Amino acid sequence: MSSFYDLLIGPFADFAFMKRGLVACLALALGSGPVGVFLVLRRMSLIGDTMAHSVLPGAAVGFMLAGLSLPAMGLGGFIAGITVALISGLVSRYTTQKEDASFAAFFMISLALGVLLVSTHGSTVDLMHVLFGTILAVDDAALLLMASVASVSLLLFAVIYRPLVAECFDPMFLRSVGGRGGVVHTLFLVLVVLNMVSGFQALGTLMAVGLMMLPAVAARFWVRQVWSLAGLSICIAFASGYAGLVLSYRFNLPSGPAIVLTAGGFYVASLLLGGNGGLLTGRARRRHLAR
Amino acid sequence: MSEPLVSIHDLTVAYERHPAVHHVSGSFAKGSLTAVIGSNGAGKSTLIKSIVGLLTPADGKIELHGLKAKDAAFLPQSVAIDDSFPISVMDVVLMGLWRQVGAFRAIGKRERWLALEALSLVGLEDFESRSFGSLSAGQRQRVLFARLVAADSPLILLDEPFTALDARTTLDLLRLVTRWHDEGRTVIAVLHDFEQVRRFFPDSLLLARQVIAWGPTEQVLTADNLLKARAMSEGWDEAAEICLGIGE
């Protein structure tokens, strides 16, 4: 009994950094879960990835000006991410180039600029920190930022939920009834960037998107409504965060990859066993029909 | 001709400076039921998207009498809709009430009742909690027609509503279109099947980027006009040079 306690609860009771890490995971899950669901529904799964990388030069500038301070790096990252998102959006609107192509172009420019800035003005350790993050070094200021992002995200989702769903399902219909699809799309992109910024302190720019996408695509194998997808995705993200922290403590693993790999485990399990089109359950149904 | 609901004055709509609809003038009478026909690329979809306000004219204008563009009920081509989207049939139909509830107002008993009524009208009783993606193509189109019913609009525009549907579904939905006509609504539909047009649509508009013929169907669907429309679409590229200054 006591070994269960030592394994599953003890670390969080004994160490403030584990406690903070867990709260950070909850905040990240609340914001990133719904964002990931809508990224998948808008077929922007990979755009999420490119957005995460484009945050880098802004974070680097923030780091150069203010040192290892999350608010400064976060603000820089937010500005860089939003700039890339808006420029790509404009390019796809005014030229024949599709949004994913212009996103890819601007994110590469942004990423290269970021790496250049970090490597000329910081050490490799700093670059590693920005790329991979350290959830166990989250301080009060960072925690406050993550909690604020989560709150703002949930509130904004509540406000734009109906038009956002309509815009994903049938954009032409929404425009025909005078709905402001463009405004909703832009607000959604702001949410994506905000949650990226919130995630990169904990998981780094490379993997922040992991806690966004993996729970969302895993949830797709279980439920069939947007609200239930978002809810389940939050639960999977938080469970991944908790289990990842436990694993990282027990086996002395880096926390970021441990969390994202746990989320990956949830995805593979859902892929195989999910009640809504999972591979194994789907096969069982086919066999049943064949008889 | 009776009182017009939609008047079009010398309308030109262009994509990247190539006109897709070219100097179109005319009007859809209040309560009329019109089929818009023509070959691929003849500007049929462009015309009705312009009426709904989805496209901005390069030249000329569209006048709606007594209603706004966003008051029209519009059914986009089925390819424009994400049919794997996780949404219930009820929520799709409720979208038709957007003009009343908008983005924020609550959906109550009355709205749900209207949606259920609309579903029973298209023959989908008890389908409201099904997932839209789990339906067949024909059932999905019935749900989208229920969304139009719920919108209760005086002007209904359909972009290729019967593409890839079986005969039974097509006939049921055509009956609904006829019912709308009997209720005095104005219906404009982009269609391909001339047999359907002859049977169900009193008026027709034959397009080949410009108007070839517009009026009672039997006077529009003549061998002469169809030949002319075909020649127009084939000879278009040379003709494009002549009209300068459009959309520049």
All structural domains of chain A, each given as residue ranges with its CATH number in brackets, are 2-282 (1.10.3470.10)
How near does any CA of chain A get to the CA of B130, in Å? 10
Instruction: Give the C-alpha separation, B184 to B121, whole Å.
Output: 17
How near does any CA of chain B get to the CA of A286, in Å? 17
**A252: phi then psi, degrees, rounded to nearest 5:** 60, 50
A165/B99 touch (CB, cutoff 8 Å), yes or no: no
**Which residues of chain A are within 8 Å of residue B131 when distances are taken between CB atoms?**
224-225
Of the two residues B248 and B225, the one the predictor is more confident about is B225
**Which residues of chain A are within 8 Å of residue B56 when distances are taken between CB atoms?**
none
Selecting from B54, B99, B104 the residue whose C-beta is nearest the C-beta of A175 gives B54
Q: Please name which of B131, B136, B153, B23 lies closest in space to residue B75, comparing C-alpha atoms.
A: B153
B136-157 pLDDT, tens digit each:
999 999 999 999 999 999 999 9
Which chain A residue is nearest to residue B80, measuring alpha carbons?
Answer: A170
Which chain A residue is nearest to residue B82, measuring alpha carbons?
Answer: A169
B17-26 pLDDT, tens digit each:
777 888 899 9
Instruction: Give the C-alpha separation, B128 to B152, whole Å.
Output: 19
A176/B87 touch (CB, cutoff 8 Å), yes or no: no
A170/B98 touch (CB, cutoff 8 Å), yes or no: no
How near does any CA of chain A get to the CA of B179, in Å? 23
**Which residues of chain A are within 8 Å of residue B161 when distances are taken between CB atoms?**
none
Q: What percent of chain B has pLDDT over 90?
A: 45
A170/B87 touch (CB, cutoff 8 Å), yes or no: no
Q: Is residue A88 within a helix (H) or strand (E), and if so which, with residue range?
A: helix A70-94
How near does any CA of chain A get to the CA of B226, in Å? 31
Instruction: Give the C-alpha separation, A220 to A218, whole Å.
Output: 5
Q: What percent of chain B has pLDDT over 70?
A: 93
Predicted pLDDT at B39? 85
Of the two residues B174 and A64, the one the predictor is more confident about is B174
- Give first-to-last CA distance, chain B, whole Å: 36
Instruction: Give the C-alpha separation, B86 to B82, whole Å.
Output: 9
Q: How many CB pairs under 8 A join A and B?
A: 70
pLDDT in 10s for each residue of chain A, 291 residues:
567 787 778 888 888 888 888 999 999 999 999 999 999 988 887 777 788 888 878 888 887 787 767 778 888 888 988 888 888 878 877 777 777 788 888 888 888 888 888 778 766 666 677 677 777 778 888 889 899 999 999 999 999 999 999 988 988 888 888 878 888 888 998 999 899 888 877 787 778 888 899 999 999 999 888 999 999 999 999 999 999 999 988 898 888 889 999 999 999 999 999 888 788 876 555 555 544
**A232: phi then psi, degrees, rounded to nearest 5:** -65, -40
Q: Give the 3-state secondary structure of residue B63.
A: strand
Instruction: Give the C-alpha separation, B24 to B22, whole Å.
Output: 6
Predicted pLDDT at A202? 78
Domain ranges for chain B: 1-72+154-248, 75-152
Which chain B residue is nearest to residue A178, measuring alpha carbons?
Answer: B70
**Which residues of chain A are within 8 Å of residue B133 when distances are taken between CB atoms?**
224
**Which residues of chain B are within 8 Å of residue A274 when distances are taken between CB atoms?**
none
Selecting from A176, A179, A229 the residue whose C-beta is nearest the C-beta of B103 gives A179
Instruction: Give the C-alpha separation, A40 to B134, whole Å.
Output: 19
**Which residues of chain A are within 8 Å of residue B82 when distances are taken between CB atoms?**
41, 168-170
Mean pLDDT score, B182-196 = 93
Cβ neighbours of residue B190 closer than 8 Å, sequence gap 6 or more: B35, B36, B37, B44, B45, B48, B158, B159, B160, B161
∠ Cα A66 A69 A73 (to 5°): 80
Selecting from A159, A170, A178 the residue whose C-beta is nearest the C-beta of B76 gives A170
Strand partners, B4: B29
Predicted pLDDT at A242? 93
Structure tokens at A34: 């719904």
**Which residues of chain B are within 8 Å of residue A162 when distances are taken between CB atoms?**
103-104
Q: Is residue A286 within a helix (H) or strand (E), and if so which, with residue range?
A: helix A279-290
Predicted pLDDT at A14? 84
The position carrying tokens 């490799």 is: A124
pLDDT of B242 > 80? The answer is no
Q: Do the Cβ atoms of A187 and A160 come closer than 8 Å? A: yes
Superfamily of domain B1-72+154-248: P-loop containing nucleotide triphosphate hydrolases (3.40.50.300)
Instruction: Give the C-alpha separation, A106 to A126, whole Å.
Output: 23
If phi > 0 it is left, if psi is from -120 to 50 it is alpha, else beta; for residue A148 that is: alpha
Predicted pLDDT at A284? 53
| Residue B39 CA: distances (Å) to CA of A24, B48, B228 | 59, 15, 12
